[in-house]
Structure 1
């Protein structure tokens, strides 16, 4: 099943601007219903700015009204921008030269927020080498102190559906853990330098 980009940010907007039920929002955004409830109560996703799914062509106003009128209905994704033009291919993934310098930041984001993803999965997802992934995991990468973890979808290194396909293979978290995991997504998918994956460890070393 396809989900909208920036699912928590989309959920925030839907909670603030519609009368959809927690279940409807959870189903559309691919979140647990308790997590949506936590967002509404301010316990989850604090600081995340809502993203309007109508403006980015993932929902229509008519679709929202249709589901507001009947809570048994589920929202239908109108368009997933990250899936446009996607074609499956075999062999190594080609990445334009202009984006290759972004790969370390994407790797840092993946190992920070989804450490359960294997090196092989990361390698196939964004077209990088296992040596680079290992260097970032072990903090031996030459530019480690300057990396700002950034969502690979935002960087254009992979499609949202590709990332979601990898995450769907991971073990599901218990609902009790979901309420405590409020920092897994930022409002724009980019960590501030002060929140860097590596800043805490660096301070400890000093």
Structure 2
């Protein structure tokens, strides 16, 4: 892949201002010769303004003259010191030592059991595993399922405690936001406590008359 900036704009300028062949321009700009031919015919890059690679510091006049004098000559670009800054640098994939790779299913099982709010993508990125492995652990189809047990990934040495806490916190916050958008479960009304009846002392039975000897000892006949 070419290291020059704005390859199509550069190709437009070379087509309009030099006698280079389509193949020479395509090789220098990292394009297909047919694409360069389309630029010359006005079918491609019609609205793109040409950029001079010489004034832009990506090509020397000597290189251009050599190429115009020899159709088989391929020009060498001057790599811009800014080109490296514009490239997208992807982070290197997470490497897990071989001695600890066998512990990842245990860590996956721990996430599946204790933190279902953490997505498979987050687990895969954190542990350096794949979604298919996570599915096999979750569905108990992993080849080593009988020996897999949930173990904290911090204990296994696969991740630091701060990183794990941050991941779980973010996953929980996202789940709460998603639940709120969906309406979430309705809050149950607080049940009122039963009211205890007021204590009223029982009234003693009042006797209508004073006791008599007959009522106490009975009648003797």
Q: Normalising by the residue count of structure 2, what TM-score does the alignment of the two structures yield? A: 0.38
Kindly indicate whether structure 1 or structure 2 has the higher relative contact order, using CA contacts under 8 Å at least 6 residues apart: 1
TM normalised by structure 1 equals 0.40
In our comparison, the structure showing a higher alpha carbon Rg is 2
